[in-house]
Amino acid sequence: MATTLAKPLHWEEIQEDLSLDIHELVKSASEVIAPLGPISKFAARSPWAGLERQSFEQTARRFKDICDIELFPHDSVLKSARDQGEIDVNFLEKGLQQWLDRHSFELPRAAAEQFCRVALTKDTPSSDLTAHPEVKRLAKKLSGFKYQLKARQSVKTLSQRFEKIGNGSVLRDLNRHLIKWCKLFLDESQAVWSMPNREEGFYQAWRRMASLDPALSLEERRQIKNLPKEADMALNEALSHLGIHPSETREYLEAHLLALPGWAGMMLWRSQQHRNESSLLMDYLAVRISMELILMKPHLPLPAQGTEEDVLLESLIAAWLHWGNFSLKAWSQVPAVEQKARLNLAWQFDQMVRNRLWMEAWEKTYEQQLMGKITAKQHAASMQKSPSLAQFVFCIDVRSEPFRRKLEQTEGFETFGAAGFFGLPIETFKLHSHHSHPSLPVLNKPQFKVKEYLPESQYQPFHERLQAVNSLQGTFKTMKHNLLASMLLPEVTGPWLSMQTLGRTFLPRRAGRTFKKLLDTWFRKPDVKLTLDRMEDPEMEIPVGFSEEEKVHYVEQALKTIGLTDYFAPLVVICGHGSHSTNNPYASSLDCGACGGASSAFNARVLAALCNLPHVRQALKARGISIPEETVFAAAEHITTLDELHWVYLPKLSDKAEVAYTQIQAALPKVSELATLERIRELPSLKGNLKNPKAEVERLAEDWSEIRPEWGLAGNASFVIGERSLTEACNLEGRVFLHNYNWKKDKNGSLLAGIIAGPGTVCQMINLQYYASAVAPHYYGSGNKATQTVTSGIGVMQGNASDLLSGLPWQSVMQSDETVYHAPIRLLVVIQAPKEYVERLLNQDRAFFQKVQNGWLRLASIDPEGNWKSWS
């Protein structure tokens, strides 16, 4: 990478010659980061979704080079998994043999096997051995050999390389300035005065304000003032003066994006949401690299760096001394040709390969254990069942699995699994809210808006009570930000806030229930109606409500995807799910992952209401789906922190449905108790004993000092697509996404393709986000929840000047400082279908095939005879 500033490159000329475009380069470079939305609408994202054309290992090596982070589990994590019996070493040995089969070395196979086997199981060489004078002397004798090793060069920005030399703090200063301006520009709720000129874009607003920034020198401010007026021109000019050759530009931009992937990811997300902000990422890079040029100018050109090959050779020699059982004398007597062959083996069998083999053995062990559970139990499930009294449709979320299992132990209850948005591409607008919210996976855009509404006679009293609360909140905020009024504020609010503080601190469970009761009594929110019928509103970007044909279409699609097209029970309960916690920035991350960080109860209610419409049922009957007149659809919400079902829509019931409802109400307390008892045993923060688990989970939900109200989706490991009879007799330990699927009703494979493209993608994104937060918590996680700072109303930082943290907190993936709770293994997709169904899926869905082939997820299938086949 060029470092001279002596003669700026004629960047535009070279760019034209190479048919390069700075806009395309920025777009291409953005693949290394993920869009990051506001934490209030937390949505699971794979950090590497744009890189799946490469293999997982290639991506891991790329991030090691650019960011110096490891994407495979750490040695200590793998050792702990082995000690706990989660890794079968026989799979490790098979993996080693396969790796050796794919490589050739000018060594006897036995010698290569012995070295690699010891390297896999023994600690790494000590630094004292690597630094031994005799080791250094032996490395120098092989100085000619180092050029035969394929270079693995780090991709660093000039400010990163300058920091590595150790002569300055340019990188820290650059990040500090970028964080400050990003916070100001992106602020949504915290700043009293918003950043001027934000409507002109980030670059323009920064250029005007930074030229007045007293934190910069007069010369630096002058240079900012003289920058080009357009962001793309400024970026071109900065790259030219830094001496970055056009062929290196994409990698250089990637390195800058990965320096602060959270703030860059938020800029990317905003650029995708609003057409008038489509150039935000260009603006961000123009600001960052222009600032880098200004801060680096006094230090350029950088001194030439020494090569790292000598250090590499020293470590390889030390590896053979340590793992190959060589003494220094014995090694020096080995012929040079053999030394080179041995060093080549050690170089190729590096830390990343070793950790990959361990992780793959872990994944295969889990697959074997899951296969054992399913194949041992699948014939134990009763083939002939009595008709169901009630059927429950749950989200595929792993937290639903234990609750479903306990519910099914009650005779007459049957459960199904489907994605929590239930196939409804809607945007929700609740009665008490000022804003609508997309209630579907973030990969998709809403096509309809559904509003809650009331007749005017009911709405006006409720609206007045709501306005009273909003006025109090607005007055409090205004007084807090006013110099004189803020002095009076403690006197006015002290008694109420003191009472709340004492209650929340010492009696969180009782205080939470009391405050909730007070609010419910005040609001007295009546039963709302939904705008299911199409309403013409020219001011809306998307239509409000559904046409008659659309109602039928989405109900039919939902029922087929769920696998509920016949044998309807008298009562069918569509169960959305949400969570409840207090003082938790990550509250939305515990809600439905398929609904963009919101509870899926609203979607459940919409679907149940549509299913009850007489003309919808009549149209479905003509399409082969006959819903009996006695069948009634209701909606409930599964509260995962409390292991409870709360009814959100209960229409007039038929006689048989009334019987089912009565039986459900009688069974739910015991189901809740059993599910709670199983779940809270896993929580390390459990303060009380297990004599009253109900009280304990209520405390966890209401305690504002609680850093782990529940485990969330930690532990997720597989996605099973098949009939419930396949897994209903298995204790899957809350680690499996469960989606109903009957291949016999899917002759053309369209249902399976839809499940893989939709819920399958969401599950993979959830899995990889937990994986990333576990293997690289300092980079992809968000640190200790107790020390986080909510910033700008959009996300969290550690302290007041860190990256915008994109991943899950330490408490979501770690059991303790030393022990990982979430097993960082890639998602295993298991499909119950004939082999030809899976082959057809792989041939038609090239994106899914690419994920399997490149190791982003793993695939297995179970054929009609019960045979298990691994496809990866």
In DSSP terms, 797 is beta-bridged to: 789
How many whole angstroms separate alpha carbon 800 and alpha carbon 808?
A: 18
- Look at residue 17 in the predicted model and tell me its pLDDT: 42
Tokens of 546: 């559904």
Question: Is the distance from CB of 276 to CB of 304 less than 8 angstroms?
Answer: no
AA identity, residue 425 = P
How many whole angstroms separate alpha carbon 720 and alpha carbon 739?
A: 6
Question: Is the distance from CB of 408 to CB of 414 less than 8 angstroms?
Answer: yes
Tokens of 373: 């559970």
Which whole number is the average pLDDT over 688-697? 79
The more confident residue out of 782 and 494 is: 782
Which whole number is the average pLDDT over 816-821? 87
- Look at residue 479 in the predicted model and tell me its pLDDT: 58
How many whole angstroms separate alpha carbon 349 and alpha carbon 372?
A: 32
Radius of gyration of the chain (CA): 30
Tokens of 797: 């930082």
- Look at residue 5 in the predicted model and tell me its pLDDT: 43
pLDDT in tens, 323-376: 998 999 999 999 988 998 999 999 999 999 999 999 999 999 999 999 999 987
DSSP three-state, residue 521: helix
| Predicted confidence (pLDDT) at residue 46 exceeds the cutoff of 70 | yes
How many whole angstroms separate alpha carbon 804 and alpha carbon 42?
A: 13
Q: What percent of the chain has pLDDT over 70?
A: 86
Q: How confident is the model at residue 619 (pLDDT cuts 50, 70, 90)?
A: very high
- Look at residue 620 in the predicted model and tell me its pLDDT: 97
Q: How confident is the model at residue 140 (pLDDT cuts 50, 70, 90)?
A: confident
Tokens of 487: 């002095």
| Predicted confidence (pLDDT) at residue 596 exceeds the cutoff of 80 | no
Q: How confident is the model at residue 450 (pLDDT cuts 50, 70, 90)?
A: very high
pLDDT in tens, 627-677: 999 999 999 999 999 999 999 999 999 999 999 999 999 999 999 999 999
User: Which residues neighbour 431 within 8 Å (Cβ) at sequence distance 6 or greater?
Assistant: 452, 453, 454, 459, 462, 525, 528
Question: Is the distance from CB of 562 to CB of 418 less than 8 angstroms?
Answer: yes
AA identity, residue 359 = M
Torsion of CA 811, 599, 33, 276, to 10 degrees: -140
How, if at all, do strands 437-439 and 426-429 pair? antiparallel
* DSSP-H helix ranges across 445-507: 456-480, 485-506
- Look at residue 501 in the predicted model and tell me its pLDDT: 72
Tokens of 216: 């910069």
Q: What percent of the chain has pLDDT over 90?
A: 65
Which whole number is the average pLDDT over 57-74? 94
- Look at residue 141 in the predicted model and tell me its pLDDT: 81
| Predicted confidence (pLDDT) at residue 149 exceeds the cutoff of 70 | no
pTM of the model: 0.92
Q: How confident is the model at residue 431 (pLDDT cuts 50, 70, 90)?
A: confident
φ/ψ (deg, to 5) at 61 = -70, -35
- Look at residue 478 in the predicted model and tell me its pLDDT: 63
| Predicted confidence (pLDDT) at residue 602 exceeds the cutoff of 50 | yes
Which whole number is the average pLDDT over 574-595? 89
- Look at residue 152 in the predicted model and tell me its pLDDT: 53
User: Which residues neighbour 741 within 8 Å (Cβ) at sequence distance 6 or greater?
Assistant: 563, 721, 722, 723, 751, 752, 755, 831, 832, 833
Tokens of 24: 């395309």
pLDDT in tens, 239-261: 999 999 988 999 999 999 999 99
Q: How confident is the model at residue 520 (pLDDT cuts 50, 70, 90)?
A: low
Q: Of 243-247, 385-389, 396-400, 713-717, which range is least confident? A: 385-389
Length of the chain equals 872
Question: Is the distance from CB of 568 to CB of 627 less than 8 angstroms?
Answer: yes
Most confident range (mean pLDDT) of 303-307, 409-413, 606-610 is: 606-610
How many whole angstroms separate alpha carbon 611 and alpha carbon 565?
A: 12
* DSSP codes, 203-240: HHHHHHHHTT-TTS-HHHHHHHHTS-SSHHHHHHHHHH
- Residue among 203, 183, 186 at smallest CA distance from 26: 203
- Residue among 398, 440, 407 at smallest CA distance from 600: 440
- Look at residue 691 in the predicted model and tell me its pLDDT: 77
- Residue among 779, 847, 786, 794 at smallest CA distance from 811: 786
Q: How confident is the model at residue 473 (pLDDT cuts 50, 70, 90)?
A: low
Q: How far apart are the first and last CA of the chain?
A: 38
Average pLDDT over all residues of the chain: 88
Q: How confident is the model at residue 470 (pLDDT cuts 50, 70, 90)?
A: low
Question: Exposure pattern of 162-183 as b/e (b: 16+ CB <10 Å)?
Answer: bbeeeeeebbebbbebbbebbb
* Own/partner pairs, 6-12, CB within 8 angstroms, 24+ separation: 6/301, 8/240, 8/241, 8/243, 9/239, 9/240, 9/243, 9/244, 9/245, 9/246, 10/240, 11/236, 11/237, 11/239, 11/240, 11/246, 12/236
Q: Cα 304 from chain centroid?
A: 40
Q: DSSP class of residue 592?
A: B
Q: Of 78-82, 194-198, 377-381, 789-793, which range is least confident? A: 377-381
| Predicted confidence (pLDDT) at residue 688 exceeds the cutoff of 70 | no
Tokens of 763: 């599950």
Which whole number is the average pLDDT over 380-386? 55
Which whole number is the average pLDDT over 292-311? 80
Q: How confident is the model at residue 309 (pLDDT cuts 50, 70, 90)?
A: low
DSSP three-state, residue 390: strand
User: CA angle 305-306-307, nearest 5°?
Assistant: 120
How far is residue 744 from each of residues 501, 565, 748, 753, 809, measured CA to CA in Å?
A: 58, 13, 10, 14, 43
* Other residues' Cβ atoms within 10 Å of the Cβ of residue 747: 9
| Predicted confidence (pLDDT) at residue 773 exceeds the cutoff of 80 | yes
DSSP three-state, residue 364: helix
- Look at residue 310 in the predicted model and tell me its pLDDT: 63
Q: How confident is the model at residue 4 (pLDDT cuts 50, 70, 90)?
A: very low
Tokens of 575: 């169960």
Q: Cα 95 from chain centroid?
A: 29
Q: In the chain, what are the helix, strand and coil shares in percent, each to the nearest 5?
A: 55, 10, 35
AA identity, residue 256 = H
Question: Exposure pattern of 36-59 as b/e (b: 16+ CB <10 Å)?
Answer: bbbbbbbbbbbbbbbbbebebeeb
How many whole angstroms separate alpha carbon 769 and alpha carbon 206?
A: 32
How far is residue 57 from each of residues 30, 99, 608, 856, measured CA to CA in Å?
A: 20, 14, 45, 10
Residue with tokens 């990163």: 160
How many whole angstroms separate alpha carbon 1 and alpha carbon 255?
A: 13
Question: Is the distance from CB of 253 to CB of 25 less than 8 angstroms?
Answer: yes
Phi-psi region of 486 (alpha: psi -120 to 50; beta: other; left: phi over 0): alpha
How many whole angstroms separate alpha carbon 690 and alpha carbon 388?
A: 33
- Look at residue 166 in the predicted model and tell me its pLDDT: 74
How many whole angstroms separate alpha carbon 261 and alpha carbon 263?
A: 6
| Predicted confidence (pLDDT) at residue 803 exceeds the cutoff of 60 | yes
- Look at residue 866 in the predicted model and tell me its pLDDT: 92
In DSSP terms, 574 is beta-bridged to: 393, 635
- Look at residue 96 in the predicted model and tell me its pLDDT: 97
How many whole angstroms separate alpha carbon 5 and alpha carbon 14?
A: 17
- Look at residue 751 in the predicted model and tell me its pLDDT: 97
pLDDT in tens, 703-737: 888 889 999 999 999 999 999 999 998 999 999 99
DSSP three-state, residue 438: strand
- Look at residue 436 in the predicted model and tell me its pLDDT: 84
User: CA angle 319-310-152, nearest 5°?
Assistant: 85
- Residue among 268, 46, 48, 39 at smallest CA distance from 762: 46
Q: Of 270-274, 661-665, 857-861, which range is least confident? A: 270-274
Handedness of CA 706, 770, 252, 36 (dihedral sign): negative
The more confident residue out of 305 and 288 is: 288
